[in-house]
Structure 1
């Protein structure tokens, strides 16, 4: 791309009018001039619709749609991608927001790398009230392999997706590639992760910028009502998804890295939700996730499994008959 392309910022929202203002204002304040902002509203009431009409009706950059009936997270995002007209797409969830120069920092990479397909940067971590924790932000990015030595064009884009370097939002990517990969409804609460992995697997030119471009707000609920039903579904789906991927041999090490991250979460959740045998099976299948028995987490999880087994035994034990 030789000229500054139009960037479509896609903003799915659901029942969070108290947060979307900060997100939307951060989009409108971007120093990059060529943007459009598409909002897909899955809210159960009309509070967000009224807010958008009252506060932003004058701004032609905003294109708002109320989804009736609600579409759910994946279909909502997919509908935004379909409506967008830019050459580059960005996704930002309603509880997160952008650094002032976030879009400009990523879009500038296309001037340096005309064949670039995907770009992403670092995320600040903020609490529910929006306070930035610099130390936790650095730890968050380091945990997902976003470090200075990793900056630049990624030698293995597929690895970038598998080890979760690629963030859940705040990225920039070619519209055609994003539409081709798409958001999958069957991925449920895991659709962000599945999309990120598949996008990186499909791309040949992915760039990581070691600069902050967005704010990630840590909250206990997800963006759509469908994901609130089970906050644990994402880890299970992600684990099964990674296991089932058909990968080139060069990406098997990245698969193992991904499974090492996910397996202990899956073990803990199985044990806490009355599936001790499933928990034990995953723990024994992934000994590398517990440093081959050298991790204290392994013994803690064994204790959880034992407690869950005992609870199942007690519930299934025949009860003595009661006589009048």
Structure 2
């Protein structure tokens, strides 16, 4: 069975080369590697032509002008020819048997639509942090007890159990849901939520299948940096969803993860009133006041209010 590995890339040829090596080392041989390049210089294009120009498994396109993350990934899905699609970001890696391990689940469950596993956390040099990897998977509800077919597939996306890449899914489902540019830096999360809500059978395998590289520019390292951050976009997405009643508890779990980040972001961008309302509306995200983080955020909100008051006085 042909599996299409879709890799969006931008100005990181040295990391892309490592990602490609992990794809070419797969124990499952029938693969197509589709690369979409948003780079601002020619380094990646030159590397791809020099190193992989004669490899028929790799289909490379330079996007001119750059498409942006959402449209780049969407274009990769469109170009994918396989029965299954796997997304891999250019700074991440696949375990050598990732596709074989995930694809094998379809033999046990022929009507399966999505499969995913655990992620290692690696640093910029590729060193694995085992403790952070263990803690990270637990934080995203990837535990031994959760292994198997998911009873509520939609919950898998809402609570961020579904990883941002390294998953394997039916191509028709992936293309039907697709990435959407309007979600900006939240497009990974938006896709994860939408594809899980659209699926009827999802399997979580308690096994490491990919590695997530922590790089200086990683979105997860700057979640509260701006009003267009991934956390803010994720809150907007979850807040705007119409969900079945049985999925409302999953929405509350999602809020508990993202609301404190959004409250902090709003207060740091001179929106103290919105920040306060959001915090009070979702007190469960702060264990109803038992979390020290709540009082720290109240301090941030107070400082933001004082800053706004001084600004108004200075303008009178």
**In which range does the TM-score fall when normalised by the shorter chain?**
over 0.9
Cα–Cα, structure 1 residues 219 and 24, in superposed 2: closer, same or farther, change >3 Å?
same
Matched residue of 2:205: which SS? strand
User: What is the CA–CA distance in structure 2 between the aligned matches of 1:155 and 1:316, rounded to whole Å?
Assistant: 53
Q: CA deviation at 1:313?
A: 1.1
Tell me what 2:10 maps to: 14
Tell me what 1:296 maps to: 292
Tell me what 1:37 maps to: 33
User: What is the CA–CA distance in structure 2 between the aligned matches of 1:158 and 1:299, rounded to whole Å?
Assistant: 33
- Asked if 2 retains the 8 angstrom alpha-carbon contact of 1:11 and 1:37, the reply is yes
User: What is the CA–CA distance in structure 2 between the aligned matches of 1:74 and 1:278, rounded to whole Å?
Assistant: 28
User: What is the CA–CA distance in structure 1 between the aligned matches of 2:163 and 2:251, rounded to whole Å?
Assistant: 17
User: What is the CA–CA distance in structure 2 between the aligned matches of 1:167 and 1:220, rounded to whole Å?
Assistant: 20
User: What is the CA–CA distance in structure 2 between the aligned matches of 1:222 and 1:74, rounded to whole Å?
Assistant: 16
Matched residue of 1:317: which SS? helix
Tell me what 2:145 maps to: 149
User: What is the CA–CA distance in structure 2 between the aligned matches of 1:318 and 1:231, rounded to whole Å?
Assistant: 25
Tell me what 1:49 maps to: 45
- Asked if 2 retains the 8 angstrom alpha-carbon contact of 1:20 and 1:95, the reply is yes
Q: Does 1:174 pair with 2:170?
A: yes
Q: CA deviation at 1:56?
A: 1.2
TM-score, L = length of structure 2: 0.96
- Asked if 2 retains the 8 angstrom alpha-carbon contact of 1:232 and 1:269, the reply is no
Query: Of 255, 276, 280, which residue of structure 2 is paired with 1:259?
Result: 255
User: What is the CA–CA distance in structure 1 between the aligned matches of 2:315 and 2:204, rounded to whole Å?
Assistant: 61
Tell me what 2:91 maps to: 95
Q: Does 1:27 pair with 2:18?
A: no
- Asked if 2 retains the 8 angstrom alpha-carbon contact of 1:221 and 1:231, the reply is no
Where does structure 2 lack aligned partners over 5 or more consecutive residues? none
Q: CA deviation at 1:271?
A: 1.1
- Asked if 1 retains the 8 angstrom alpha-carbon contact of 2:227 and 2:266, the reply is no
Q: CA deviation at 1:128?
A: 2.0
User: What is the CA–CA distance in structure 2 between the aligned matches of 1:68 and 1:318, rounded to whole Å?
Assistant: 47
- Asked if 1 retains the 8 angstrom alpha-carbon contact of 2:184 and 2:228, the reply is no
Where does structure 1 lack aligned partners over 5 or more consecutive residues? none
Q: CA deviation at 1:275?
A: 1.3
User: What is the CA–CA distance in structure 1 between the aligned matches of 2:8 and 2:227, rounded to whole Å?
Assistant: 19
Query: Of 59, 63, 74, which residue of structure 2 is paired with 1:67?
Result: 63
Tell me what 1:243 maps to: 239
User: What is the CA–CA distance in structure 1 between the aligned matches of 2:181 and 2:299, rounded to whole Å?
Assistant: 36
TM-score, L = length of structure 1: 0.94
Who wins on radius of gyration, i.e. which is larger? 1
For residues 88-116 of structure 1, what are the alpha-carbon distances to aligned partners after superposition, in whole Å with 9 as ceiling and x for unaligned?
A: 00000001111111111111111111000
Q: CA deviation at 1:28?
A: 0.6
Q: CA deviation at 1:51?
A: 0.4
- The alignment of Structure 1 onto Structure 2 pairs a total of residues equal to 312
